[in-house]
Every structure is written in structure tokens, then in C-alpha cells.
A and B are shown apart, each in its own frame.
Chain A
């Protein structure tokens, strides 16, 4: 049977055993809808988690790769200090290359502030050295100490001051995504518990008849549990597929700038949302079962 036919059959038919509970159309349709809506939201929460995870890694990566050393010294000492700094850098492990920016490059950087015609020689502009890391990078504190000793005018700017809050923000976003997933699961459990409890209460007379003809609690609960679990599964499949299609149709946001990563899945991550429907069914199973056993204990 094709998956689609299978889902349809779940939506329409009950097995012989489940027929002992009358069609609880209303409640069950609401369950289907809620499960679909929750799965849809879960896909987005999952996508958010994935995207922010990638973002944190990338910010960590790209920004950590480069840093700047600024040398402020009287014009007479500038060249000597620059050379001293480059020497220190060339013997520092974890540094791939270090290069003093040329006057032209520095002028370009300053142009927005001072205009194009400015001659650097006339201004006490610090010399900039661009440092590119390799491997696990260098130890910024060690480097700072060495620079302090040998190049008094040098200041190391390893970008960590403004990189860290960005990474922290990405990590909090990711945590938010995870929390949303948990909340969605909890809400789903709560809704299914309410729906199942309502269905059981509405069928007190049916339950009484079933008991009179020799049905055990597990049997009666099973009829309700199967019904709600299958509907939650079906709703989950529908909602997840809809969510995945919606994310596929999102315009890609990673063309410019590099900071914005598209909300979405990459490669193998597309498998992840497929876990949502079975997970939803598991939640529904335990929620309905607990609700049923509790209600049955209460009904004599």
C-alpha cells in the first residue's frame, strides 16, 4: 500500500477492536488538526535550531580566523615597532601569516572618515597589521604579554569582544529553538490528554457496557489509545510535510553578507523533520494511555 493510501486508511477506518468505541469524530478531528499544526511549528523550530547552530559555527570560524594589531608610536619609531611586532608574530604558534597594511590600504580604510585626499604622513595614524590564524589559533593573552614587552605601542584586537556576543546570541537562539520544540511537545501532550479525557468521559456508558461483557481496562484503553495515536501520527505527517514544503519555498537568504543564513535544512538535516511524526505519535500514545488508565480507574 502506498504511504498516502495508508494514511487515508488510518483516517477513515478502524480495526474491528477499535470499533467498540463509537466514532468520536469531533474530538478526533481536532486531534488530527492540532497534531498537524504542532508538527508544522515543530519543523520551524527545528529549522531555527539548525540555522542558528550553523550561524554560531560560522561566526566562530570566520571571525576567529583574523585579527588586527594596531601600533601607535611616534613617527620615528613606527617602522621599528612594526618590524618588531612582525618578528614576534612570525614566531608565535597558531599564526599563519601577518602583514602590515600598506599606506594605500590604510588610506582606503580611512577614506570614509577623512576623504580621499588625505596624506597619512600628516596624521598620527596607527599602523595596522593583519593577522591570519591557522589551526586552533594562537593564545591571545600570551601574545599580548609578548607584545607588551617588545612592542610598547602595539594593541591586539582579536575581535573576541564583539564576536562573543554574536556567538552567544546564536547559541541563545538555538536554545530558544530547542525550548520551542519541548513546548510544542508538551502542548501536544496536553491537548491530546484533554481530547482523550473528553472522549472517555463522553463514552462512560460505552465503557460500562464493555466492562459488563468482560473487557479489561487495558483493552478499553487500547481502543482509545490506538485511535488517538494513529490520528496524531497522521496529523504529524501532514503537518511535517507542509512545514518542509514551506521551508523549501522560503527564499534563500545566504546570497549576500554571509551573516544571514537561510532558515532551513542543509543536506542530511532534511531527514531530521521526518522524526517529528513518529515522535508525535509516541507522545500521543503515552498521553492517551495515561489519560485512559486514569479515567478508567475513576469510573466504576
Chain B
């Protein structure tokens, strides 16, 4: 699905990631951890082609990102659901339209309205469907972002700090949603610095934990 092959990423400020290799297998459940500023967000952006690796290769569904045109990449992104750290909503559209946005832009206007309602209910936002994003709490925004990430029924879900702004109880609910999706066969990668969340997950799902430290991607052992 997503393959990183000896990938490196550097920018003006120096090298952030180096020698990173990873194969995300179908149905896998991964956590990505590391201190703030380690490069978790950067790593995810490389995984959905928002950034281009400066060395090595990134392959999405077998295709090298460098060979994809901007439009190819856009179409490819419909198969990767992303929960962005900052949600990335269109503030002028009500929540339900934001959630349906991937359908709208891919021309699937015929999407069954009842499916959308069901999804919004599933993330517990039925009562907020007509609100504008700026009117929502952090937790509501993150649940909406998750709903938008999965509306196209993607093969892979990449979630960047999906529990960043929410209390413990809400973070447990979001985690449960993601685990449920994994049970439905989706590949899940969650970037988080919240070790308690990882521990909570480990009792429910077979998760691998990756850690970015000193520019390298490592597998964290059972020490968590």
C-alpha cells in the first residue's frame, strides 16, 4: 500500500528524516511516536505525497510519487484517508458538507444521503451537522476530520494526533472508532505522542509501535 524505501527528507534547516524504510501492509495497525518536532507530521505528509522525499523512494499503491502528476496524486489521495493535525476544513461550509467534501470533489454527488447521515451519527455529530467548523470544539472537529477521512472508504487511514485536543474519554472514543475501522480491514497509522493512548490500544488491537528518534524510524519494543 504505502512503501518507503530508504527515504530521507531534508529542508533548509537540515535533515529531518534519513534512511527510513517501511512497508505498510493491508490490515496493519501502527502507531508512530516520538517527541514533538521529531518529524511525525512530516513523515505522514511524505506518506500521502504532500511532501516529496529528498532521497530514496515513496511508493503509493505501487507507484512512485515522483512519477505522479499533481492530478494523479489528487486522485490517489482519494484512496488514503487523512486526519490532519489541524483538521483542514473549509470554514465557510457546514460540517456535513465538509465531511462530504471528498465525494463532492470526486464527482460522486450521487452518494446516498442516508450513508452520510449514518457516518455523522457514528462519530456522534448529528446534532452539529449544520454548524460551521469554527463553531466546533476541538474534539468535535477531530471526530469530523475522522469522518471525512473515511467517507471515501479508503484503504489506508493516516491520523495525525487525532486525540490532540480532546479529553481522555473522547480520545478513547476516537481510538475505538479507529480500531473498529481496522477490524473492517483498513490499514491504520496513528501519529501520537500520547503513550497512554498507545497502551490503551494495545489491549484491544495488535498494534506495532514505530518511533522517530535521531532522524531514524525505529520499531519500539515491548518497553511501552
Contacts and interface: CB of A to CB of B under 8 A. Distances in A.
A212 B50 contact: yes
A248 interface: no
Contacts of B152: 214
B71 interface: yes
A213 B105 contact: yes
Interface stretch (B11-19, B74-82, B168-176, B179-187): B74-82
Contact of B92 (A16, A23, A208, A210): A23
B75 A213 contact: no
Contacts, number: 60
Interface stretch (B53-61, B83-91, B117-125, B196-204): B83-91
B78 A212 contact: no
Interface of A: 16-17, 19-20, 22-23, 206, 208-219
Interface string B96-112: 01000110111101000
A19 B88 contact: no
14 contacts: A19-B97, A20-B90, A20-B105, A22-B90, A208-B88, A209-B90, A211-B70, A211-B77, A212-B77, A214-B78, A214-B102, A214-B106, A214-B152, A217-B74
Contacts of A219: 105, 107
Contacts of A210: 90, 101, 105
Interface in B28-79: 50, 70-71, 74-75, 77-78
B178 to A, nearest CB: 19
Nearest to B50: A212
Interface residues of B, number: 25
Nearest to A219: B105
Contacts of A211: 70, 74, 77
The 9 lowest CB-CB distance pairs between A and B, nearest first, are A215-B105, A22-B92, A214-B78, A216-B71, A213-B102, A214-B77, A209-B88, A213-B101, A216-B74
Contacts of A20: 90, 93, 101, 104-105
Contacts of B104: 16-17, 20
Contacts of B141: none
Given A20-B104, A210-B101, 16 more contacts: A20-B90, A20-B105, A208-B88, A209-B88, A209-B89, A210-B90, A212-B50, A214-B74, A214-B77, A214-B102, A214-B152, A215-B106, A216-B71, A216-B105, A217-B74, A219-B105
